[in-house]
Amino acid sequence: MADHDVIVIGAGFAGLYQLHRLRALGFDTRVIEAGADVGGTWYWNRYPGARCDIESVEYSYSFDADLEQEWDWSERYAAQPEILSYVRHVADRFDLREDIVLNTRVESLDWDDATQRWTVTASDGTPRTARYVIAATGCLSVPSRPDFEGLADFAGEVLWTSSWPHEGADLAGKRVAVIGTGSSGLQTITAIAPLVGSLTVFQRTPSYAVPAHNGPNADRLAAARTRYPERREVSRASSKGFDCDEEARVLLIETEAEAVVGELDRRWDIGGLCFGSGFSDLLKDADANEAVAEYVRARIREKVKSPELAERLTPRTYPIASKRMCVDTGYFEVFNQDNVTLVDLAERPIARMTGRGIVTEDGAAYDVDVIVMATGFDAMTGALNAIDIRGTDGHSLRDKWAHGPRTYLGLMSAGFPNLFTVTGPQSPSVLSNMMTSIEHHVDWITRALTHLRERGLRRMEADPDAEDNWVHTTNDLGDLTLMPQAASWYMGANIPGKQRVFMPFVGGVGLYRDLTNGIAVSHYHGFELS
């Protein structure tokens, strides 16, 4: 039996940094990773056009000043191969690989009250125990694979953006269908449109997208390198975890319409997700939201030549930013190409797949060589629920979370001692720059384990009352916004049968950081330590 101080599940950005921190402090730590290499999200999502929608000088580790200075980010928004090279570089540079077990999926966790340890069962059959388990399992790591009738009969190739073949896929000249128009769909569609023979896009809900204005990064990188520490501090204190020039302007009290448009123009020209940070009432007031949404709709109309097509590509049924906004580079213009067709599933839903392609409910048949599924993820809770986790008295986490996740601070769940989650549900994670949130959680957990060790303590658990309060707080805060109005993956709405409950903490990264650090300083108020 291999016994460790800590087992970390997942060797993505979170798991690697967690290993680095704990090992430096002398904790015997083992990371177990399902993939054949490190990288997590960036190992699996290698579809054409895959790219981060946070700027590279923000979406990178801040824990090592030399690393910040050494690594060259070639573009404003890094593409997947460059991010994967960076993760691999970090694993090598900090000698992390020796403590990582690859190609191994954790299947179950069982808490033993007598020994105060977790038994970790994984696909390699090696028996392992650990005092602490840290789930660095990612928020978008379990693909949603809709059960389309007849899919098995399709004679062509089916490709999933979330597990794209490592050897790549030759789409040149082929008839390709893409199902899904979230970030992955938009990026794939834009990248493959110039090379495929024909492209048929199956859209259930149109996305709001802001321009990336991607490009070479030399000037931005040089500027960032002169002030990385200050920049990171701003990001840590911000609401979204990246430096966004957050002016607290209130759209509805702006008396001059030109002032609103001027600010939106300014942010549109800068590009990226800071577009949504100009007005503090964007997600609090329906009229303010509608004004910004209408601005973006007008931009879509400018890009798409056919007014009818533009209308179909225009989101109207949910508030802007209540789902993750997409960041695009020429997505809408793709629909001006003669060989690109949009199928609006709101009007004609998919009925089934056949040997030749896709048939919609109105009987129209779309014959294709390849179907690309860009259908998203079982977000936030999917990866944890995929593991059979049994806490005190054998209670299951899946059962506990059947009506939505229940955590204290998104870090622990009552009844599951010594089990921590990095960027878990009810933390800001998916609403933020994931790197800022990952580093904060890893630092917080590391500090907690050090606190326990220094005091000869062996067990930490969320108090049920503190957890209840946190669940209410996150739900109530969510309800103060327009976000629950969208049928989004933040709500679990994309997974049939999943409880609809708003999962992230909307209070912002800076507030959450102060709160959680304050709780650590107050000797972990709301946790039971023994």
Name the residue type at position 6. V
Q: Kindly tell me which residue out of 180, 276, 404, 507 binds ligand NA7, with binding defined by CB under 6 A.
A: 180
Please report whether residue 184 would count as binding ligand NA7 according to CB under 6 A.
Answer: yes
In 183-325, alpha helices (H):
183-192, 218-226, 228-237, 257-270, 286-303, 307-312
Q: Which of residues 434-493 bind ligand NA7 (CB under 6 A)?
A: 489
346 neighbors 205 (Cβ within 8 angstroms): yes
Q: Kindly tell me which residue out of 183, 360, 421, 427 binds ligand NA7, with binding defined by CB under 6 A.
A: 183
Select from 108-116, 181-189, 333-341, 445-453 the region that touches ligand NA7 (CB under 6 A): 181-189
Q: Kindly tell me which residue out of 376, 417, 478, 510 binds ligand NA7, with binding defined by CB under 6 A.
A: 376
Q: Kindly tell me which residue out of 10, 15, 35, 185 binds ligand NA7, with binding defined by CB under 6 A.
A: 185
Please report whether residue 146 would count as binding ligand NA7 according to CB under 6 A.
Answer: yes
Q: Which is nearer to ligand NA7, 375 or 481 (CB)?
A: 375
Binding mask 269-308 for ligand NA7 (x = CB under 6 A): ----------------------------------------
Least Å from the CB of residue 339 to ligand NA7: 21
Spatial distance between the Cα atoms of 504 and 385, rounded to a whole number of angstroms: 17
Select from 115-123, 174-182, 252-260, 467-475 the region that touches ligand NA7 (CB under 6 A): 174-182
- Please, what is the end-to-end C-alpha distance for the chain in angstroms? 25
Select from 83-91, 288-296, 374-382, 437-445 the region that touches ligand NA7 (CB under 6 A): 374-382
For 136, which DSSP code?
A: -
Please report whether residue 374 would count as binding ligand NA7 according to CB under 6 A.
Answer: yes
158 neighbors 373 (Cβ within 8 angstroms): yes
Please report whether residue 327 would count as binding ligand NA7 according to CB under 6 A.
Answer: no
Spatial distance between the Cα atoms of 403 and 143, rounded to a whole number of angstroms: 20
Q: Kindly tell me which residue out of 324, 390, 406, 440 binds ligand NA7, with binding defined by CB under 6 A.
A: 324
The dihedral built from the CA positions of residue 422, 428, 432 and 437, taken in this order, carries a sign that is negative
Please report whether residue 205 would count as binding ligand NA7 according to CB under 6 A.
Answer: yes
Instruction: Report residue 458 as tokens.
Output: 């062996």
Spatial distance between the Cα atoms of 353 and 276, rounded to a whole number of angstroms: 38
Number of residues near ligand NA7 (by CB under 6 A): 18
Which pairs from 103-106 meet CB under 8 Å and 24+ separation? Answer: 103/33, 103/34, 103/35, 103/36, 104/32, 104/33, 104/34, 105/32, 105/34, 106/9, 106/32, 106/34, 106/387
Please report whether residue 214 would count as binding ligand NA7 according to CB under 6 A.
Answer: no
Question: Residue 487 half-sphere exposure, CB side, CA atoms within 13 Å?
Answer: 11
Please report whether residue 150 would count as binding ligand NA7 according to CB under 6 A.
Answer: no
Select from 178-186, 254-262, 351-359, 500-508 the region that touches ligand NA7 (CB under 6 A): 178-186
Select from 7-15, 64-72, 180-188, 193-201 the region that touches ligand NA7 (CB under 6 A): 180-188
Phi and psi at residue 226, to the nearest 5°: -80, -15
Q: Which of residues 487-526 bind ligand NA7 (CB under 6 A)?
A: 489, 494
Please report whether residue 204 would count as binding ligand NA7 according to CB under 6 A.
Answer: yes
Least Å from the CB of residue 443 to ligand NA7: 23
Spatial distance between the Cα atoms of 270 and 277, rounded to a whole number of angstroms: 12
Strand order in the sheet with 198-203: 157-160, 370-373, 175-179, 198-203, 340-344
Select from 208-216, 232-240, 370-378, 396-404 the region that touches ligand NA7 (CB under 6 A): 370-378
Closest CB to ligand NA7 belongs to which residue? 182
Spatial distance between the Cα atoms of 138 and 87, rounded to a whole number of angstroms: 15
**Closest by CA position to 314, among listed 212, 209, 211:** 209
Reduced to 3 states (helix: H, G, I; strand: E, B; else coil), residue 353 is strand
DSSP 174-197: -EEEEE--SHHHHHHHHHHTTTSS
Least Å from the CB of residue 272 to ligand NA7: 13
Spatial distance between the Cα atoms of 284 and 241, rounded to a whole number of angstroms: 20
Select from 84-92, 177-185, 208-216, 238-246 the region that touches ligand NA7 (CB under 6 A): 177-185
For 79, which DSSP code?
A: B
Residues of the shown chain interacting with ligand NA7 in the complex, contacts defined by CB under 6 A: 140, 146, 179-185, 204-205, 324, 345, 374-376, 489, 494
